[in-house]
Amino acid sequence: MPAPAPLETLPNAPGVGYKPQHFSEIMADADPVQWLEIHAENYMGDGGRPLAQLRHLAEEFAVSVHGVGLSIGGEVPLDKDHLARLKHLVSWLNPASFSEHLAWSTHDGHFYNDLLPLPYTKATLTRVCDHIDQLQETIARPMLLENPSSYLAFAESSWSEPEFLAEISQRTGCGLLLDVNNVFVSATNLDFSPQGYIDAFALEKTGEIHLGGHDEDADDHGHPLLIDSHGRAVVDPVWALLDYTLERSGPKPVLIEWDNDVPDWPTLAAEAERAAFALSSLTAKPSRPVIA
Amino acid sequence: MSITELKPVPFQVDQAAFTRAMMDAGQAVPAGLIDQDAAPAGRRFAVYRNNVAVSLTEALHSGFPVITKLLGKANMDGLAGLFLRAHPPSSPLMMHYGAAFPAFLDGMSQLSHLGYLGDVARLELALRHAYHAADADPIAAEVLAAQSEDDLLAARLHFAPAMQILRSDWPVQSIWRFNTEDAAPKPKGGAEIVLITRPDFDPIPQVLSPSEAAWIEALIQGASIGEALDSARRKTATFDLSAPLTLLLQGGAIIGLESKG
């Protein structure tokens, strides 16, 4: 087990997913953004501009490293080379936080560059926990594990997702990353209450919240099918779900993810401003008792 | 038989079956993937098929912008769809994806009238390699100028990891420039040898003459400056090292001078 460390090391303030095209504006005036998240795999080259920019950013901002390629939910053993690269990046950067996904992306030596779903069973619970133990030992710190967006379910699943995540956190000591947009997407696609999901989620283990935009489609039966695209602004019902979450969790680091059709900096900063408002409204109000 | 014994065991979907169906839209969606009413997932599974194809296609677009421009987006999308199924990434580092793309382009009989595509893709890969190559501190021109002529001729040079030389039967650098710079001249036919350096963060491809290339390649192989000069002069008797030396210095490509020995 890694040494116990605080799960909340990022500021309880807005952050954004870092995009290189915003470098100059962020360095000049990032307000209201107080921290940045990077995708680990984009900073695993040997040198050049990406690492030079990251070095500058890390002097000014708390940085969260977000892995998108470890395949923690994979049936196959974790990629030793990739673990070594993560260890190297985390040792070099000493980020405020490291997070990864409850998903898989690698099978039979091939990487599919997407976050693929897994059933929630006794067998997958054991496997995911083993992988998280291995990662946390490698990077010598606890990680945060993020809830996925779901487009379908597995007939074989025997755990609800919040229970599955809470059990993983209990067994491995990892924290959780709650993506509120993913909750909204999954709840819409699979007809459950997003507020009920938040109520069941281990908010006390949650070290970071994500928000992002999604696309709208429909399934074969005309049922809404939302797709987690990170290609547009956060929608109002997701902002409302953030308020609902923060009322129960208290202040948390809140990240805006906008990875495709990346907007100009003022547009992204305006999204961060809205997250800042949600956090400040919270401190202005007397905290509401948690409804069990 | 009791009711319990009749209850069907839910289908299990392993990741091999999931992957096969994801990468081949002709395959059935695995049973065991369901919607909120426990009905077969159907079109919902297509989200994963689409996400993978789109994200890998986008990686090829951004990794090979000149190839994309030469072929047009629709053709590039079609080729990417074939390539990503034949050569899915073997690493989560998308910065390295597409190493097999040049040979794939060479092997496409429908593209045989565009014989230069493979080498243009090789140039784009080399530029990407240079972009991510390890940093290295270049030596100043004064370090070379401070040497006596004899010492300079006896010295060996060490080069930055970003530096590369690419030989092509096609005018690949001219094609690359014509498709990336507004005022670049139209490419003429003929082979080109390309030197890639990374003076700061942005790699630059420049054309070398055969004797300049011979001089630099001899240096890369460990020859002294004088020995490399002899190699170059076997190609061109009047070879002068000042032009290629300036290219290397301006490109920040020389990171060490090893005197004698």
**What is the rounded average pLDDT for all residues in chain A?**
94
pLDDT at residue B19 is higher than 50: yes
Q: Tell me the CA end-to-end span of chain B in Å, nearest whole number.
A: 89
B11 — pLDDT class (breaks 50, 70, 90)? confident
Residues of chain B with Cβ-Cβ distance to A108 below 8 Å are 16, 19
Q: What is the pLDDT of residue B260?
A: 72
Q: What is the pLDDT of residue B23?
A: 97
pLDDT at residue B8 is higher than 90: no
Does the beta carbon of A106 lie under 8 angstroms from any beta carbon of chain B?
yes
- A 72-91: CB under 8 A from B: 74-76, 79, 81-82, 85
Does the beta carbon of A221 lie under 8 angstroms from any beta carbon of chain B?
yes
In this predicted model, which residue has the larger pLDDT, B150 or B261?
Answer: B150
Q: In the CATH hierarchy, which fold is given to the domain comprising A14-284?
A: TIM Barrel (3.20.20)
How long is chain B?
261
Q: What is the pLDDT of residue A9?
A: 86
If you average pLDDT over residues A70-88, what whole number do you get?
98
Q: Kindly state the helix (H) or strand (E) to which residue A111 belongs, with its residue range.
A: strand A110-116
E strand intervals along B89-244: 156-159, 164-168, 192-197, 204-208
From the list A47, A76, A190, the residue facing B36 with the nearest CB is A190
Q: Tell me: the pLDDT tens digits for B211-255?
A: 999 999 999 999 999 999 999 999 999 999 999 999 999 999 999
Note whether A44 contacts B131, CB cutoff 8 Å: no
- Report percent pLDDT > 90 for chain A: 93
Mutation test of the interface with chain A: which of B29, B84, B93, choosing the one with the most A Cβ atoms within 10 A?
A: B93
pLDDT at residue A173 is higher than 80: yes
What CA–CA distance (Å, rounded) separates A52 from A30? 18
pLDDT at residue A80 is higher than 50: yes
Predicted ipTM?
A: 0.93
Q: Kindly state the helix (H) or strand (E) to which residue A101 belongs, with its residue range.
A: strand A97-101
What CA–CA distance (Å, rounded) separates B232 from B225? 10
Note whether B22 contacts A69, CB cutoff 8 Å: no
Is A232 in contact with A223 (CB distance < 8 Å)?
no
Residues of chain B with Cβ-Cβ distance to A117 below 8 Å are 48
Q: Tell me: the pLDDT tens digits for A183-231?
A: 999 999 999 999 999 999 999 999 999 999 999 999 999 999 999 999 9
Identify the CA nearest to B17 among candidates A211, A212, A116. Answer: A116
DSSP state of B109: G
Q: What is the pLDDT of residue B189?
A: 86
- A 146-185: CB under 8 A from B: 151-156
If you average pLDDT over residues B66-92, what whole number do you get?
97
Q: What is the pLDDT of residue B173?
A: 98
The CA distance from A115 to the nearest CA of chain B, in Å, is 9
- Report percent pLDDT > 70 for chain A: 94
Q: Tell me: the pLDDT tens digits for B183-205?
A: 999 999 899 999 999 999 999 99
Is A96 in contact with A35 (CB distance < 8 Å)?
yes
Q: Tell me: the pLDDT tens digits for A90-147?
A: 999 999 999 999 999 999 999 999 999 999 999 999 999 999 999 999 999 999 999 9
In this predicted model, which residue has the larger pLDDT, B105 or B11?
Answer: B105
Question: Domain locations in chain B?
Answer: 15-115, 133-258
Q: Which of A193-197, A241-245, B92-96, B141-145 has the lowest mean pLDDT?
A: B141-145
- Report percent pLDDT > 70 for chain B: 96
Note whether A49 contacts B59, CB cutoff 8 Å: no
What CA–CA distance (Å, rounded) separates B5 from A192? 30
Note whether B92 contacts A68, CB cutoff 8 Å: yes
B261 — pLDDT class (breaks 50, 70, 90)? low
Please spell the DSSP secondary structure of A187-217, one letter per residue: HHHHT--HHHHHHHS-GGGEEEEEEE--EEE
Residues of chain A with Cβ-Cβ distance to B131 below 8 Å are 45, 48-49
Please state which CATH class domain B133-258 belongs to: alpha beta
If you average pLDDT over residues A149-157, what whole number do you get?
97
Q: Between vectors from CA B130 to CA B134 and to CA B89, what angle results, nearest 5°?
A: 95
**What is the rounded average pLDDT for all residues in chain B?**
95
To the nearest 10°, report the CA torsion of A58, A178, A180, A222.
120
Does the beta carbon of A52 lie under 8 angstroms from any beta carbon of chain B?
yes
Q: What is the pLDDT of residue B7?
A: 59
Q: What is the pLDDT of residue B4?
A: 52
How far lies A206's CA from each of A91, A194, A250, in Å?
Answer: 23, 17, 10
Note whether B36 contacts A153, CB cutoff 8 Å: yes
The CA distance from B83 to the nearest CA of chain A, in Å, is 13
Mutation test of the interface with chain A: which of B11, B24, B51, choosing the one with the most A Cβ atoms within 10 A?
A: B51
B1 — pLDDT class (breaks 50, 70, 90)? very low
A282 — pLDDT class (breaks 50, 70, 90)? confident
Note whether A111 contacts B59, CB cutoff 8 Å: no
3-state secondary structure of B142: helix
pLDDT at residue A2 is higher than 90: no
CB pairs under 8 A between A and B: 149
Note whether A41 contacts B94, CB cutoff 8 Å: yes
Mutation test of the interface with chain B: which of A53, A70, A120, A151, choosing the one with the most B Cβ atoms within 10 A?
A: A151
pTM of the model: 0.94
If you average pLDDT over residues A17-40, what whole number do you get?
97
